[in-house]
Structure 1
Amino acid sequence: MNKTIGYIKKRKIRFSILAVLIVVYYFCLPKQLFKDPTSTVIISSNNELIGAKIAMDGQWRFPHNNSIPHKFKTCILQFEDEYFYKHPGFNPISIFKALKGNFSSGTVKRGGSTLTQQVIRLSRKGKPRTYFEKFKELILATRLELRDSKEDILAYYSSHAPFGGNVVGLDAASWRYFNRSANNLSWAESATLAVLPNAPSLIYPGKNENKLLNKRNRLLKKLLEKDIIDSLTYNLSIAEGLPQKPYPLPKIAPHLLQKLSKSNEGEFIKTTIDVTLQKQVNQIVKHHHSVLSQNQIHNAAVLVLDVKTRHVLAYTGNTSTSKKHQKDVDIIDKPRSTGSILKPFLYAAMLDEGDLLPNTLVADVPSQFGSYNPENFNKAYDGAIPASKALSRSLNVPSVRMLQEFGLDRFHHYLKALQLKDLKYNTNHYGLSLILGGAESNLWDLCKSYAALASTLNHFTETSSEYYANEFCEPTLMASEMVDFGDIQSEKALFGAASIYLTFESLKKVNRPEGDENWEFFDGSKQIAWKTGTSFGYRDAWAIGTTKDYVVGVWVGNADGEGRSGLVGVQTAAPILFEVFDLLPESAWFRKPFDDMQEITVCKQSGHRASPNCLDTEHVFVQQSGLKTKACPYHVLIHLDTNESYQVNASCEALSNMNHKSWFVLPPLMAYYYKTKNPFYKPLPKFRSDCLGEQALTMEFIYPQENHSVFLPKDFNGISNDMILKIAHSKPESTLFWYLDEVFIGTTKDIHEMAVLPKQGQHTLTVVDEFGNEAKRFFEVSN
């Protein structure tokens, strides 16, 4: 030991130098050999390339790939470095032969570099090819051999070798020159790419083809001579032609690539996209765009989600329109006016809170809320309509009245819980128009919300009637990500299972696009809960639908916000929706969540809980909170004479002669419109003339509405048309006396309409019935 220490002390300078050299040698190789920017590459769930974005330096350079196809690996080793697995990073024999040849010729004709040395040279860009630099490469190559495996070194080479033009790396080259993955290349194609890095300039179309062909065929001949391929494979391979031009890389999901490159620039991303479905959806959008563009409608977007996994199966962010019409804009995450697409959430919320039963009658009459005057799309009114039908028919007036009854703040709370990120303002900003498109949202958030409803219902019926805490989670585009639905709990996350199920039952009955009206009579038709929406000014058309397994969302319109007549959800977006659903597997309908339901007796005619006066009833399952709803207010018990022609009371008829009967009675304004759609509606019989104490009489204005501004159009002669005043009376046969600005203008009986021609300005309309009841209405006539 002492001798050894003494020996070192005597030669400490030498050992110090040696130690320094070892340290320098150890650290001479950078940890990261290549720092070049790479292309953003996205592949489908089954590993097919669906898009790539060129690297920031203008090169097609795919991210590093550790996997090398067998054919290319064999070809590159046979062409460049047969002794790759035997040498320590350099091949002395090859170096000697290269030096000998170069000295004899007086020029550098042969390099003698191994693949390891070539990797080092590729990583040290722009270095001159001198003997000194060759020596440095040799040292670095040995260090690389000590640090990394042979397979890693081959992967470095295949990922960073030049293949002509702006193509770098095997993966990019195989797609650019042969339009397929490197794993699917033939022997001839692999041999072509193996010889290219040695002389990448040979690949230019129409130039040097014979040189490239000869190099490739010599390599194939060598493979034959070494029994790597048989004679048949050889003959077929040399018969293959060379690539004539670079292929464009696939653009199957360009807007998805654009989205992912913002957060994953230069990465290789395996997505959740089903490439077959994506191509089919693209084709559907392309077909519809060719039709819609004739009406100057240029943009559309489609999103397809898997309910159970929240995987995005198809992502078509726009049509293939022109740059003028903003084809590069990804519509899926852009805020747009919601139209009627939020109505199902209001219906579900009212069910959940016990404010409504599925078929409770809601008013559908002309309504004005301050200066806000909502109208149904068809400008008509039903008087009264079951809430479920109001939803399935997407009637605006009942929806606004339901929102007013439910409360803006309560509904806004539900929407915020859905995590609609474009809902940025408070309720005062939106007002009651919130339910008709006064707010903005995007296709991603809306599809996410519909998927959360479907998933909540699925999980409730698949577990022991329990909920997951994180149902309203974000969908994922990454194949490697698993959505976390959170812990199982007894409390609902937002909506109860029964409320969701009853909402979907209503949405299942939405009228389908023209030509599909009889869909429910076909056994093979898909059962889909779906909803359309059309924004004010015909700027946005929506259609979103869900089954137990899938959600499909469609938006159609113009990216610049230009409205077009005919841009209606059911006409433009719904046909795309159903064509996409036709591509998806069949799904069974949702199971009924009995554990969250209660069987009650309801009045068939009104949809309310049955009162003692309701004779025509049925037993139905409703949400648990439905027990809180009020009993039917529309059925009253009346007393009729023996012929049931008149109402009577104790002042005019003996009790023994009275017939007691339940009668369905609506308020006058509701009844006025209801009877036009329901011819069997019977108004209350009159009281017999000898009876005292008749029922209270009521009347309601139909037109004009309170504080309404009226415009009187003119005919061809420039004369203003009359204004038709209307009122509904609970006893139509009564005589009514009409006054305009306290001036008597006439009487009506049975049909209570009055034609007037008021002057411009504010007016007061007064109507008095023969019993002394009075109704007033203020309105304004404008130019």
Structure 2
Amino acid sequence: MKLINDIKRHKIKSVVLAALLVAYYFCLPKDLFKDPTATVITSSNNTLLGAKIADDGQWRFPKTNNVPEKFKTCLLLFEDDYFYIHPGFNPISIFKALKENISSGSVKRGGSTLTQQVIRLSRKGQSRTYLEKLKELILATRLELRLSKDEILNLYASHAPFGGNVVGIDAAAWRYFNREASNLSWAESATLAVLPNAPSLIYPGKNQQQLLNKRNRLLKKLLDNGTIDRLTYQLSIAEALPQKPYPLPQTAPHLLQKVAKHNKGERFKTTIDVALQSQVNHIVKQHYNILKQNEIYNISVLVLDVKTRKVLTYIGNSPTDKAHQKSVDIIDKPRSTGSILKPFLYAAMLDAGDLLPYTLVPDVPTQFGSYQPENYDKSYDGAVPANKALSRSLNVPAVRMLQSFGLDRFYHYLKALKLKDLTHSANHYGLALALGGAESNLWDLCKSYAAMASTLNHFNAKSSRYFTNEFCEPTFNFKTTINFGSPVAEKQIFNAAAIFYTFESMKQVNRPESDLSWEYYNSSQEIAWKTGTSFGFRDAWAIGTTPDYVVGVWVGNADGEGRPGLIGVQTAAPILFDVFDMLPKSEWFAKPYDEMITVEVCKQSGYRASTVCETTTLLEIPIDGQKTPPCPFHRLVHLDSQEEFQVNSSCESVSNIHHKSWFILPPLQAHFFKLKNPIYKSLPPFRSDCDERTTVAMEFIYPNEQKTIYLPTDFDGKTNELILKVAHSKPELQIFWYIDSAYIGSTKTLHEMAMIPTPGDHTITVVDEIGTTIKRKIKVLQ
């Protein structure tokens, strides 16, 4: 009541006092410092990976939250010994400074506390007058009420100038001593403690004697007050001063570039394993020095932890030069995929129940309209197990499998993987989709392989359950923990059995020459991996996975220039295996038995065994594989008693006919198959007295299904011949050749016919001696 009465009696004084209190409360800006800061990235253990200079050209790191003890001790002893007990200003220091300055007639001594220096740093550009000192004093007391002593000390350490364009203890430690501030010695900490006192006059490389004297006087104080012993003191004063700033680490420059787009001016802790990043940087540099001799200049590498989906290594480009796009981060750039999408096709067909792992698929000359795929070595196997077609990266079987499976169905699987560079419709890519007709990037491809590996891991570890967010984006943000969603019974894209058999096939891919005998060494690990080479030798890929890690490598030229020898297995694969050698060894994936069923499979064809398959085996297949048809290649044939000839009821008594299962491929497949498989047994011929019309078949080898044929001319202007070829199930039969109903000749055993047709449309007709006829329409251009 008395206070209220006093206020009423002294209204003006009370209003003035209240106004002063309000002014005092609001006199300090909410944010003392608004200077731009550098973008800083650190590894998962807080090691500096790199920094991008602030917009004002200063090496000013974001505010530190922890001032190293050695630097704090040196700083307080040098600048403000009573920091933890004064209210923001030190009356004794101020009195001594005034006395000395008045007696000398100039400013010789400041008398400012660290709190006042924080205020002065925030009010940059202000003249050093007594009025300004008064303002600093008032603001300093207000700052003491707002922040703790340690917070004030952090502000000072983060914004103090250290000479040149270096601001703050963190940047200074790296620029002058090339290490973290927490790892500085007593001599180094003392050096940095005295620098802000006169940063424009004294900094490393300039005024060395003055800097040395100041540092050593501070070290002597540390000795005198018992902070350091005499041996430490003697060793410290013997340490040399830094001569010039060090460049900041550039361990992951392209990741820094990516982080700066969305977290500019921040301190960003990444998931990068700094030791692994440094090792892979060294590997990339070694391979770059070799590849650049062939004018191949760019390499990118990504390493993911499958179980956490964290990025462990991020190398966006090789250490090339500006002329070869050194600053371009290729990890997220679209490039032609080559064969790197083939495993997804194989997995999709297994998942849909359209294929079994070892089913024979055709590998013969093939043409779809104007599109004619070819294998890399331009040879054909006739028929090849699907898993071998994938491990050998055969193009023709892949395209035929895609055509059989359906372009739209496969495209649906790829879209489910969220490959962001797949921007056109399925028809735009056509059947070339499996061979590099589309573009993708290393990030999306690695995340897809990681998701498949993780699906298998989770299925086996979580009671045969799938996770709803399995196919998620990886992260390089240490603070982010991937949420894989909730466990469910339904697959998300591929079932676990399809993934397992895809990886089993990829494990058999022939490794580079240096790793050809890898399976004989205990130190080697099993890796599911795949290479890719784009058309024109512009892009070389290699991506591999174990249950724990995914490694992805791209090699090429950022400008798209192709080079001879720019092939996945020759350029990207060696890097991939060098990186895997740096990673801990993983055990192989366990079989997902709950997604499998045991069935009888034909050993020769890989299909489900039919009743006439001669040799069968029990194998686990994906459950949906039960939908696949039984073996179409085994047929019950009828032989004479010596099994030398085929017979039928037209020439042999039924009681004398022997019935035997026989593996028979279609003529075109058989033609190429027996070139690679000498043990392939053709059907015995029919006995001469038997009617065999219904058992004979033949197919064109060339021309195949293409409609347009170009006849080139040689250097003499002579038109080259067109070589017609036919495969016959009974090659010893004579066949007769016609063009547009005009007879042109006959062949026996080797059914090839050379001719020079006139330009235009023609019909090729082939008739064997028992009347079997096939035709092919062509258009000839010269």
TM-score category by the smaller chain?
over 0.9
Paired with 2:692 and 2:241, the residues of 1 have a C-alpha distance of: 103
Paired with 1:259 and 1:193, the residues of 2 have a C-alpha distance of: 32
Other-structure match for 1:444: 443
Alignment map for 1:259-408 (pairs within 5 Å): 259-408=258-407
Other-structure match for 2:45: 46
Other-structure match for 1:777: 776
Paired with 1:206 and 1:488, the residues of 2 have a C-alpha distance of: 62
Paired with 2:657 and 2:757, the residues of 1 have a C-alpha distance of: 49
Alignment check: 8 A CA contact 1:687 1:694 kept? no
The C-alpha deviation readout for 1:403-427, integer Å capped at 9, x for no partner, is: 0111111111100110111111111
Alignment check: 8 A CA contact 1:202 1:209 kept? no
Deviation of 1:687 (Å): 1.8
Deviation of 1:716 (Å): 5.2
Deviation of 1:698 (Å): 2.1
Q: Check if 1:582 corresponds to 2:581.
A: yes
Alignment check: 8 A CA contact 1:648 1:691 kept? yes
Paired with 2:762 and 2:658, the residues of 1 have a C-alpha distance of: 47
The amino acid across from 1:492 in the alignment is K
The amino acid across from 2:663 in the alignment is F
The C-alpha deviation readout for 1:739-768, integer Å capped at 9, x for no partner, is: 123321101111110011223444322212
The amino acid across from 1:6 in the alignment is N
Taking structure 2 as the reference length, the TM-score comes to 0.99
Alignment map for 1:339-738 (pairs within 5 Å): 339-692=338-691, 694-715=693-714, 717-738=716-737
Alignment check: 8 A CA contact 2:369 2:707 kept? no
Alignment check: 8 A CA contact 1:545 1:553 kept? yes
Other-structure match for 2:187: 188
Task: Give aligned pairs, total.
Answer: 782
Other-structure match for 1:135: 134
Which segment drifts farther, 739-748 or 364-373? 739-748
Other-structure match for 2:217: 218
The amino acid across from 2:396 in the alignment is V
Deviation of 1:674 (Å): 0.6
The amino acid across from 1:505 in the alignment is E
Which segment drifts farther, 93-102 or 718-727? 718-727
Alignment check: 8 A CA contact 1:638 1:663 kept? yes
The amino acid across from 1:148 in the alignment is L
The C-alpha deviation readout for 1:488-540, integer Å capped at 9, x for no partner, is: 11111111111100110000000111232222222321100000000011110
Q: Check if 1:757 corresponds to 2:756.
A: yes
Gap regions ≥5 residues in structure 2: none
Q: Check if 1:121 corresponds to 2:133.
A: no
The amino acid across from 1:19 in the alignment is A
Paired with 1:415 and 1:397, the residues of 2 have a C-alpha distance of: 20
Matched-pair identity in %: 70
Paired with 1:521 and 1:235, the residues of 2 have a C-alpha distance of: 58
3-state SS of paired residue (2:669):
helix
Deviation of 1:205 (Å): 4.8
The C-alpha deviation readout for 1:706-751, integer Å capped at 9, x for no partner, is: 3343344444544333221101122212221111233211011111
Deviation of 1:203 (Å): 4.2
3-state SS of paired residue (1:515):
helix
Gap regions ≥5 residues in structure 1: none
Q: Closer, same or farther in 2 for the Cα pair 1:733/1:693, shift >3 Å?
A: closer
3-state SS of paired residue (1:626):
helix
The amino acid across from 1:475 in the alignment is P
The C-alpha deviation readout for 1:296-330, integer Å capped at 9, x for no partner, is: 11101000001000111111110111111001000
Alignment check: 8 A CA contact 1:202 1:212 kept? no
3-state SS of paired residue (2:175):
helix
The amino acid across from 1:122 in the alignment is L
Other-structure match for 2:767: 768
Deviation of 1:126 (Å): 0.7
Paired with 2:316 and 2:4, the residues of 1 have a C-alpha distance of: 74
The C-alpha deviation readout for 1:667-715, integer Å capped at 9, x for no partner, is: 1111111110111111222222222364343221111123343344444
Other-structure match for 2:108: 109
The amino acid across from 1:627 in the alignment is Q
Paired with 1:229 and 1:558, the residues of 2 have a C-alpha distance of: 57
Taking structure 1 as the reference length, the TM-score comes to 0.98
Q: Closer, same or farther in 2 for the Cα pair 1:81/1:252, shift >3 Å?
A: same
Paired with 2:574 and 2:692, the residues of 1 have a C-alpha distance of: 59
The amino acid across from 1:367 in the alignment is T
The amino acid across from 1:39 in the alignment is A
Paired with 1:518 and 1:241, the residues of 2 have a C-alpha distance of: 53
Alignment check: 8 A CA contact 2:447 2:473 kept? yes
Paired with 2:707 and 2:565, the residues of 1 have a C-alpha distance of: 29
Paired with 1:730 and 1:226, the residues of 2 have a C-alpha distance of: 103
The amino acid across from 1:95 in the alignment is I
Other-structure match for 2:243: 244
Alignment check: 8 A CA contact 1:699 1:728 kept? yes
Paired with 1:376 and 1:762, the residues of 2 have a C-alpha distance of: 29
Other-structure match for 2:25: 26
Alignment check: 8 A CA contact 1:469 1:493 kept? yes
The C-alpha deviation readout for 1:3-38, integer Å capped at 9, x for no partner, is: 443321121111011111111111111111111111
The C-alpha deviation readout for 1:141-199, integer Å capped at 9, x for no partner, is: 00000110000000000000000000000000000000000000000000000000001
3-state SS of paired residue (1:200):
coil
Alignment check: 8 A CA contact 2:176 2:204 kept? no
Paired with 1:521 and 1:234, the residues of 2 have a C-alpha distance of: 58
The amino acid across from 2:406 in the alignment is G
Other-structure match for 2:148: 149
Paired with 2:141 and 2:8, the residues of 1 have a C-alpha distance of: 30
3-state SS of paired residue (1:663):
strand
Paired with 2:143 and 2:236, the residues of 1 have a C-alpha distance of: 35
The C-alpha deviation readout for 1:226-281, integer Å capped at 9, x for no partner, is: 11111111111111111001000000110010011111101111111111111110
Paired with 2:646 and 2:491, the residues of 1 have a C-alpha distance of: 51
Which segment drifts farther, 513-522 or 42-51? 513-522
The amino acid across from 1:508 in the alignment is K
Paired with 1:645 and 1:65, the residues of 2 have a C-alpha distance of: 91
Alignment check: 8 A CA contact 2:205 2:242 kept? no
Paired with 2:727 and 2:674, the residues of 1 have a C-alpha distance of: 12
Paired with 2:432 and 2:652, the residues of 1 have a C-alpha distance of: 53
Paired with 2:150 and 2:715, the residues of 1 have a C-alpha distance of: 89
3-state SS of paired residue (1:331):
coil
The two structures, once aligned, show a CA RMSD in angstroms of 1.2
Paired with 1:28 and 1:278, the residues of 2 have a C-alpha distance of: 48
Paired with 1:187 and 1:493, the residues of 2 have a C-alpha distance of: 58
Paired with 1:40 and 1:409, the residues of 2 have a C-alpha distance of: 45
Alignment check: 8 A CA contact 2:162 2:203 kept? no
The amino acid across from 2:570 in the alignment is Q
Paired with 1:549 and 1:450, the residues of 2 have a C-alpha distance of: 11
Alignment map for 1:36-75 (pairs within 5 Å): 36-75=35-74
Paired with 1:751 and 1:7, the residues of 2 have a C-alpha distance of: 125
3-state SS of paired residue (2:331):
helix
Q: Closer, same or farther in 2 for the Cα pair 1:572/1:39, shift >3 Å?
A: same
The C-alpha deviation readout for 1:621-671, integer Å capped at 9, x for no partner, is: 111111111000000001100111111112221222111100011111111
Alignment check: 8 A CA contact 1:202 1:211 kept? no
Other-structure match for 2:15: 16
3-state SS of paired residue (2:637):
strand
Other-structure match for 2:232: 233
